[in-house]
Amino acid sequence: MATKSARKHRGNIEERGGAYRVRVYAGVDPVTKKPVYLRETIAAGPDAKRKAEKALTRLQNQVDERRAPRTSATLNQLLDRYFEVGLDVAPGTRRDYASKASKHIRPILGSTPIARIQADTLESLYADLRRCRDHCHGRDYIQHRTTHPHVCDEHGASGSCEPFDPACRRCKRMCKPHECRPYKASGIRTVHWILSGAFDAAVRWGWIGVNPANVARKPAIPTAKPGPPTAQEAAQLVNEAWARGPDWGVFVWTAMTTGARRGELCALHWYHLKLDNSVVVIERAIGKGENGEWVEKDTKSHQHRRIVLDEETTGILREHRALAEAQAEELGVKMDDRGYVFSLAPNHGTFLDPSTTTHRFERMARRLRIDSTLHKLRHYSATELLNAGVNIRAVAGRLGHGGGGATTLRVYAAWLAEADQRAAPALAGRMPARPAGVLANGAVGRASSDIAEEGSTPRGPYIQIARDLRGAIRCGVLGVGDVLPPVKDLARRYGVAVGTAHRAIALLADEGFIQTSRGRRPIVLEQGGGASNVKLQE
């Protein structure tokens, strides 16, 4: 009898003109504090009563299994609560999430009760973003450049230029008809993760039974296109940086050799430099605070790392410190280890603005007509290390990537064209010799590498350096046991960066022409003791 009474209390069936309305009590709304009921209407028919009883049992089971929504809260209310107590991210990330939610989520789904949002609802939102980031829904309208009072066409009574003149300032500032532009894939994925996190919180709080974002089709991961500068472009960039001033040259050089993020470089203190051990410690970064101001904080991945420096970079940073101390002494100010390595203040007491470094680098690259950014120097550092055969985990450790190198491999593996070029001759060295007389151009019996070298144009400055040294070894100018010229002299002679000269040395070592050892200059072997020498003897 108690069970029957409880069932009557939890739900009932009402008949209305042959149809039946089923209602089941599902608890108290944690947001509005009002009772929540599950309702279903059964149309009139010969078996309507039986269907109504089945619906009553089904709804009661949903309540028992906690699959029924316990609230009528809207998505706006959920997002407000999620940003308040459920989201634990850095201030800059929080602002970015709030901005994307205000533009792409709240205007579209904000007033919808979360109990009514299903997987197809979210996939429709993602499809809309792929069509147009401004959610125009096919409407034609004038897209104003600002929300403040303004003049749409500053040409005045004379009328606008016909056709559009890209050099005209008034044409650039005109308010133009809206043109649909798809939202980038990475932005749609961010929208998805905001919704997924909010619905996960709603499940934990008991507001809903399941997370609809878990079954919705997630936006595809964007294809990695790092686009690092070439070795020749990198040399141009660093040489131009030196020409613009020693401080800026040290900054660009350090960014290129360490692969550190711009905020990490700006947050370097003098005590982070362990130059006696050729190590720099990365444990802080400059990022945006709660109010959008630049503050010193933890690194992006919340991990500290130690980056080993090469001899040249260690010397450059030591000279940079000596120059900074001399300038401070000349101005009568005191500088200590708590100061920043890169600073505009005489005592190095303030850090550089990261956005300033980005803009300055982009202006320098545009002047050189190189399509590059400061962040792409990080791509360059990673790509060069991978091309040199450095272990993927070691590269990930230098860059501060988590996941055991998965991010490093996904982003940079697509840009290993040089490594692929080195793989081609390695495979060719395993092939049998071709039969005599196959070719009719008189080239039978000559080494394929010699044919390729004669009359060919080097594809990079380090290839030119390696080619000249290889020729000197073959003709006997550099004999067995001789040492190569210092790397700095080679770089100065060819007008390239020291790193480019190092690449030429590494290439000759791979081919077996020279032997390298730490702390010593490379020594010439007997006409290339490696695989390339075998090919020459054939």
Question: Domain limits of the chain?
Answer: 2-64, 75-150+160-214, 231-409, 448-537
Q: Output the pLDDT for position 17.
A: 81
Residues 313, 238: contact at Cβ < 8 Å? no
Q: 337-357 b/e with 16+ CB inside 10 Å = b?
A: eebbbbbeebbbeebbebeeb
Does 231-409 match 448-537 in CATH topology? no
* Closest alpha carbon to 510 in 413, 393, 423: 423
Distance of CA 352 to the CA centre of its chain: 22
Dump the DSSP string for 359-389.
Answer: HHHHHHHHHTT----SHHHHHHHHHHHHHTT
Q: Output the pLDDT for position 196.
A: 94
Q: Output the pLDDT for position 357.
A: 94
Residues 282, 400: contact at Cβ < 8 Å? yes
CA distance 112 to 74: 5
Largest Cα span, the chain: 108
SS3 99: helix
Domain 448-537 sits in CATH at 1.10.10.10
Q: Output the pLDDT for position 3.
A: 39
SS3 342: coil
Listed as ranges, residues in the chain with pLDDT below 50 are 1-8, 439-458, 528-538
CA distance 535 to 538: 5
Q: Compute the chain's Rg from CA coordinates.
A: 33
Joined tokens for residue 252: 């660009």
Select the CATH number that applies to the domain covering 231-409 from these four: 1.10.10.10, 3.40.50.1970, 3.40.50.12780, 1.10.443.10: 1.10.443.10
The 10s digit of each residue's pLDDT in 22-75 is 888 877 766 667 787 778 888 888 888 888 888 888 888 877 766 656 677 889
Domain 75-150+160-214 sits in CATH at 1.10.150
The 10s digit of each residue's pLDDT in 343-352 is 999 999 999 9
What is the DSSP-derived secondary structure letter of residue 147? S
Dump the DSSP string for 4-36.
Answer: HHHHHHHEEEEEETTEEEEEEEEEE-TTT--EE
